[in-house]
Amino acid sequence: MKKIVVFVVAMLISVASFAQKKGDMYVSGFFSADLGSYSVSSSDWHPFESSFEVGAKYGYFVADNLRLGMEVSFPFTTSLNEEMDGESYRYNTLSLLFCPNVAYYVPMGDNCYYTPELGFGYQIDKQQTKGTELYASSSNSTTWGAYLDILAFEFKVSEKLSIGANLGGISFASSNYIYSETETYKINQFVCDFSNVIVDFKYYF
């Protein structure tokens, strides 16, 4: 096992250097799915929720190691709520997210970079509840926010391909929910999360 580890490390070190130069561009796509159920304390309510997201990313280096990017994604969430007040209904949310961002690539060695990223996002949501007349409704919401990916890294496997890992950061979001001309409310949320790891692949050209 030790020989394998030593071999892999030696192989990575021996790879030719692929610097991030002005004019470099990349594209990346992603798809995610999350299925599960949760329970509400002191209740027999056990909703089943599933969420899906598909999106694309584009990046352009305006200077050596300085990259501007754009992310566009389409999240969709559906939740089946059973036996609440003796009724069942389904809650669907379809969203569209635009997220321009900027990142600086700090060299850490051959082909390895520390890549803190600052981004701003704007999301449009359409919510619809389907079921009995008691629960049937629809609403819209908009969200703007900002984030800073603090523990972000990227390794260039080749001149065309790289692997990135995001271990967490901080974010702020403000959502405005609109149910009617007179019924609206706002939610502000600040998050500091270092509990998840997001891995992505980029194709450079």
- The DSSP bridge partners found for residue 124 are 96, 142
Q: How buried is 13 (Cβ within 10 angstroms: 0-12 exposed, 13-18 middle, 19+ buried)?
A: exposed
Would you give per-residue pLDDT tens digits along the chain (205 residues)? 444 444 344 444 444 567 789 999 999 998 888 877 656 565 555 567 788 999 999 999 999 999 999 999 999 988 876 655 566 677 889 999 999 999 999 999 889 999 999 999 999 999 888 766 555 577 889 999 999 999 999 999 999 999 999 999 999 999 998 877 677 889 999 999 999 898 999 999 9
SS3 state at 54: strand
Residue 29 CB partners (closer than 8 Å, separation 6+): 54, 55, 56, 57
Q: For the stretch 44-74, what's the b/e string if a residue is b when 16 or more beta carbons lie within 10 angstroms of its beta carbon?
A: eeebeeeeebebebebebeeebebebebebe
Give the pLDDT score at 185.
84
Residue with tokens 């609403």: 139
Residue with tokens 């703007």: 144
Nearest to 167 by CA among 127, 118, 121, 115: 115
